[in-house]
Chain A
């Protein structure tokens, strides 16, 4: 049995001008100890998916339907109290904005210790001791002094380390990381990714990594779910996805990655882009969600939504033509 099983997740928001189907029928699973990446551009629903797992979507205006099973237990059926016992304990989360995600008026030690006191019933002293250990673990020097400091006394990278310390304090089974490195300098990004990879092995937690950065995905993930307009359009292990992306959207994403040195040796002058914008999620689309931006669109695409099909073992994609047109990333760029 997988650790986390998300089945037909639908997270909709009621807005004054219609229902926003931010996530519309997404299914995936995460095995214990595995790292799954969810990628897609802004507004594709990946953050909402992450927030839905912990039920952090305000309801109303949001509404979460489907099933989210953790060790077989459907989180959507739990009471608020039961849900609180899962949050920060079995499943924890780190966020994109390290500068604003920590409470500015509480000490770092208190914020780490809070989860421990809440979920493990530690005393104040024990929690502080453990907070010092956690700061050491995430590589913050002078941990004993730092636990008494406030977030504004730390740099962005340090704050994200503190967030990781908070998230891992109770040895969660699953860590959801929502764009954990996006707001950081490139050098700090590498450090944080290294830290996450290292801690994952030590703590043994599975990770759901939400990102738009395929470079990050290549670094840490084992399996990838590609989302577009609130739907899963492709899923594969990391190797096959990068080698032979099946969905034109994935191909476009890979094609739009800058390659180091390409502008210097003259092989490429302009970064490839995917033309157009993500369609509005407020109206139901008949055909393929990507039809308006896909270079291979046919009449079939505009009228019939493609189902997710297994195009190769363990590699699914939602495209009518994916099996036949096995375009590589480089050919897409040319097209």
Chain B
């Protein structure tokens, strides 16, 4: 097991290297010249050239990549072209709202979607099942910002139940913190809930056909224990896999959600950086998101052993 963990952690290195190369290249080939942007409209070609040299943008591609990678490995994500602050500092300032939003969304989505899928599978073909499936299709088709604005309109503006937008740091108390996250989490979580509910239903339908479920019934086990112990534990591996893959949805959705609800998180930072062509910031944020994604899926691979004893590493 330990050897497996070490191997898996080591295996993330080439993955991250490819991600790094991709992130670096993407901006290299993207249109627009950061030196020209920084220099402004009034600059002469000589000014632009000077700025380009000072940023090292005139050096060959591989040299730049090597230097950049070396800095990152030392923990230096570079300095923002726009604010002149270290990128790591900018990320540190923005990470709490995004992390909070993602964790709340994840918890909300899993605790809603899994029971939904289980009940839909149990009541297959009934109105309950159809309602869940209809929600799943709808949730998947409606964009995050539409859900976000609708929620904000009704729950915040019309009924005045929750704050419209903004973010309160966790340090100022649990409830104020959570209050600001409920609507964004629902907006961001809708797609995610739809995805998890669907896969839960499909997997549960298959598991409920198995002989061991019949055995459990023949033993006199109650319906709830059959569903949530005997069946769900067998269905866990595909469900957990989709939860992990779905983190990508959350990362993409967070950018939009933070804009809709004016949350000063990494998503907003990313959008702003892209608009300003602030290359070091974009690279830093994308690298961080990729790293989180790889890490989450590593953790999920390790979780498999918890659910299925047949999986051994």
Closest to A118 in B: B220
- Whether a CB of chain A sits under 8 angstroms from the CB of B230 is yes
In the complex, per-residue mask of B92-116: 1 if CB is within 8 Å of any chain A CB, else 0: 0000000000000000000000000
Q: How far, in whole Å, are A102 and B214 apart by their CA atoms in the complex? A: 10
Are A119 and B220 in contact, CB atoms less than 8 angstroms apart?
yes
- Whether a CB of chain A sits under 8 angstroms from the CB of B216 is yes
Are B230 and A106 in contact, CB atoms less than 8 angstroms apart?
yes
Q: How far, in whole Å, are A97 and B215 apart by their CA atoms in the complex? A: 10
Given contacts A150-B309, A150-B310, A152-B309, contact A101 B220 (CB under 8 A): no
Closest to A104 in B: B310
What's the nearest-Cβ distance from chain A to residue B183, in Å?
37
Interface pick from A62-70, A86-94, A130-138, A293-301: A86-94
Contact residues of B between 189 and 222, Cβ < 8 Å to A: 210-212, 214-222
Are B216 and A103 in contact, CB atoms less than 8 angstroms apart?
yes
What's the nearest-Cβ distance from chain A to residue B221, in Å?
7
B-side contacts of A106, CB under 8 Å = 229-230, 233
Are B234 and A114 in contact, CB atoms less than 8 angstroms apart?
no
Q: How far, in whole Å, are A152 and B308 apart by their CA atoms in the complex? A: 11
Most chain B beta-carbon contacts within 10 A, residue among A97, A101, A119: A101
Closest to B215 in A: A101
- Whether a CB of chain A sits under 8 angstroms from the CB of B307 is yes
The bracket for how many chain B residues form the interface is 20 to 34
Partner of A152, one of B215, B230, B310: B310
- Whether a CB of chain B sits under 8 angstroms from the CB of A166 is yes
In the complex, per-residue mask of A78-119: 1 if CB is within 8 Å of any chain B CB, else 0: 000000111111001101010011111110000000110011
Are B220 and A100 in contact, CB atoms less than 8 angstroms apart?
no
Partner of A95, one of B215, B220, B221: B215
Are A118 and B233 in contact, CB atoms less than 8 angstroms apart?
no
What's the nearest-Cβ distance from chain A to residue B8, in Å?
22
A-side contacts of B220, CB under 8 Å = 84-89, 115, 118-119
A-side contacts of B307, CB under 8 Å = 105
Q: How far, in whole Å, are A93 and B219 apart by their CA atoms in the complex? A: 8
A-side contacts of B219, CB under 8 Å = 87-88, 92, 114-115, 118, 166
In the complex, per-residue mask of B233-246: 1 if CB is within 8 Å of any chain A CB, else 0: 11000000000000
What's the nearest-Cβ distance from chain A to residue B307, in Å?
7
What's the nearest-Cβ distance from chain A to residue B200, in Å?
16
What's the nearest-Cβ distance from chain B to residue A207, in Å?
15
Are A118 and B221 in contact, CB atoms less than 8 angstroms apart?
yes
Are A100 and B211 in contact, CB atoms less than 8 angstroms apart?
yes
What's the nearest-Cβ distance from chain B to residue A108, in Å?
11
Most chain A beta-carbon contacts within 10 A, residue among B215, B216, B233, B234: B215
Closest to B229 in A: A106
Q: How far, in whole Å, are A50 and B92 apart by their CA atoms in the complex? A: 66
Q: How far, in whole Å, are A74 and B217 apart by their CA atoms in the complex? A: 19
Closest to B233 in A: A105
- Whether a CB of chain B sits under 8 angstroms from the CB of A54 is yes
B-side contacts of A307, CB under 8 Å = none
Are A97 and B309 in contact, CB atoms less than 8 angstroms apart?
no
Q: How far, in whole Å, are A88 and B220 apart by their CA atoms in the complex? A: 6
B-side contacts of A88, CB under 8 Å = 218-221
Are B218 and A54 in contact, CB atoms less than 8 angstroms apart?
yes
What's the nearest-Cβ distance from chain A to residue B308, in Å?
6
- Whether a CB of chain B sits under 8 angstroms from the CB of A323 is no
Most chain A beta-carbon contacts within 10 A, residue among B214, B217, B220, B234: B220
B-side contacts of A115, CB under 8 Å = 219-220
Are A93 and B218 in contact, CB atoms less than 8 angstroms apart?
yes
Given contacts A150-B309, A152-B309, A152-B310, contact A104 B218 (CB under 8 A): no
Given contacts A100-B211, A102-B215, contact A84 B222 (CB under 8 A): yes
What's the nearest-Cβ distance from chain A to residue B9, in Å?
26
Closest to B308 in A: A105
Partner of A104, one of B214, B221, B222, B308: B308
Are B308 and A103 in contact, CB atoms less than 8 angstroms apart?
no
In the complex, 8 of the A-B residue pairs with CB atoms within 8 angstroms, ordered by the A residue number, are A87-B217, A92-B219, A101-B211, A103-B212, A103-B216, A106-B233, A150-B309, A152-B309
Beyond A95-B214, A115-B220, 6 additional pairs, beta carbon < 8 A: A86-B220, A95-B215, A95-B218, A103-B215, A103-B230, A105-B307
